[in-house]
Chains A and B, each alone.
With several copies, the nearest count.
Chain A
Amino acid sequence: MSYEVETPVFAGPFDLLLHLILQDEVDLYQVSLGGIIEAYLDEIQRMEGVNLAVATEFLLIAATLIELKSRRLLPDTSDLDLEEELALWEERDLLLARLLECKTFKDASQALKALSIDASLSFPRLVGMEEQFLGLMPDLLEGVTPLAINEAYHRATVPKPQLDLFHVTPVKLTVAETVEFLVEELSTIGKTTLRELTKSTVDRVEVVIYFLAVLELYKQGIVDLSQIKTFGDLTISWIGFDQNTDYAEINTYEG
């Protein structure tokens, strides 16, 4: 996630693609798919230490671009399955539509920025009520008991099950979902303990699911586990993928 916030230039794959296509304003038609793919891959290479989820998104687009290009390099296009051909063009159109949408909001955000810069030149009066009238103000604590304060504190600080860890409220968490989540989380933080991972969970069942998910990752050789003493903290270390594992978060692309 840190990449997304800190990057000076590209906040995402569409951002990068937009830039690569639009950078050369003079020779619009010189832009070649091949050139874009090369530049795109170069950029991805430059991004060292990008978190997995982000990298996957970039790679997915690169793959689409390369597929578009490679289809064209085939000696005889008539060999192509018509359905596949159409699917490919659909893919391209989708990418185009997304780029247009991305560009639209990019420009809109500049308008918002301009508005906010203008607005920031004007300072509101926040002085509030004059002393002479303060006595008139109604007692806002009317009817509030010490117990109500206690309850309000609990409301404000109670662990929230739907923190920011999930895209949707986890009604019923599955092991598969947790595996996916852990892949994203662990690739970023590297090393942690099961206790740490499950500290915001509310149900015991959730802890069990986490545990099963961690075991699954261990079985696949994606994480390493160690436990110094019996009943001690279970330490989980991220090892990473080998080539044929596939947890790509392609779902993110379904608008």
Chain B
Amino acid sequence: MQTEESRKAIEAILLVSDIPIDASLLAQLLEIPKTEVEKICTQLMQEYKKDHRGFVLVNVAGGYRYQTDPTMAPYVERFVLEGQNSRLSSAALETLAIIAYKQPISRMQISAIRGVNVDAVIRTLQQRGYIGEVGKDPGPGNAILFGTTSLFLERLGINDISDLPPLANFVPGADVVEALEGGLRPDHVGEKLESQPHDEVAIIANDETNSD
């Protein structure tokens, strides 16, 4: 592979990765020597610096990743504080409620209940530390199961999840029951996973716009 092509491929892979990627993995993906990867990455670091980019490439925690340039921190902070909504959208709150009452629960099951893809909402809730991965579905597909965190309890001012008001006297819709049951039937887990889209950046944007 040409160096030019390798350079582009490394930039592309690092752009979509949410964890630092080590040189060996890059070497393997690109089928080039590890030393070549290191050389390219060093070059990239220098180029971004020379071009005064707002991002930097760093070698951290055993791998390469993109980060914001430290001098840009004030703008990023501003974006964090002002650019984002300070309230959960009603869609996000409903998803959080489903997780709180039905944990451990898979993305699939939540999305079947909500009738829309919930990836973006899950990502937000996870990033805010309100929910976390609590296990894997033992069935085929090994779907990640989510549950609420102690931060969630703390923010709600309760000690334990059982302190939430009970769901007694409440009959969920047939579709909800089916979604919950479906996810627990091992033979259907894989099937459902397959048909599930992995998307949804847009949904949250929509939700949040609508909820305002």
User: Which residues of A are in contact with B by a Cβ distance under 8 Å?
Assistant: 1-2, 4-5, 7, 11-15, 18, 20-22, 25, 27-34, 36, 53-54, 57, 61, 65, 68-69, 71-72, 92, 95-96, 98-113, 115-116, 118-130, 132-134, 136-142, 144-160, 162-164, 167-169, 171, 199-200, 252-255
| A-side contacts of B164, CB under 8 Å | 111-112, 115, 146, 149-150
Q: Closest residue of chain A to B155, judged by CB?
A: A141
The interface size bin for chain B is 35 or more
- Further contacts, 5 of them, CB under 8 A, given A69-B187, A102-B113: A105-B98, A105-B101, A107-B170, A137-B84, A157-B176
The reply to whether the CB of B156 lies closer than 8 angstroms to some CB of chain A is yes
Q: How far is the CA of A141 from the CA of B94 in the complex (A)?
A: 12
Interface contact tally, CB-CB below 8 A? 345
Whether A122 lies near B127 (C-beta < 8 A) is no
8 chain-A/chain-B pairs, Cβ below 8 angstroms: A57-B116, A109-B96, A118-B70, A123-B68, A126-B123, A128-B123, A144-B93, A146-B157
Residues on A with C-beta less than 8 A from B136 are 169
Q: Given A4-B116, A108-B97, do A121 and B70 touch, yes or no (CB 8 Å)?
A: yes
Does more than half of chain B's interface fall in helix, strand or loop, or is it mixed? Answer: helix
Give the distance in Å from the alpha carbon of A193 to the alpha carbon of B67 in the complex: 52
Annotate B65-90 by CB proximity to A: 1 below 8 A, 0 otherwise: 11111110100110011011111111
Residues of B within 8 A of A13 (CB): 115-116
Contact yes or no, A142 B127, CB < 8 A = no
In the complex, which residues of chain A have a beta carbon less than 8 angstroms from the beta carbon of B84? 120, 137-138
Does A162 contact B144, Cβ atoms closer than 8 Å? Answer: yes
Given contacts A22-B176, A140-B128, contact A11 B94 (CB under 8 A): yes
Q: Which chain B residues lie closer than 8 Å to A12 at the CB level?
A: 91, 114-116
A69 to B173 Cα, complex, angstroms: 26
Determine if B128 and A123 form an interchain contact, defined as CB atoms under 8 angstroms apart. Answer: no
Bound together, the chains give a CA A199 to CA B171 distance in angstroms of: 11
What 3 pairs between A and B have smallest CB-CB spacing?
A: A119-B157, A159-B173, A21-B183
Q: Which among A33, A108, A134 is the interface contact of B183 at CB below 8 angstroms?
A: A33
- Inter-chain CA distance A150–B100, complex, in Å, is 9
Could you tell me if A168 and B141 are in contact, using CB atoms closer than 8 angstroms? Answer: yes
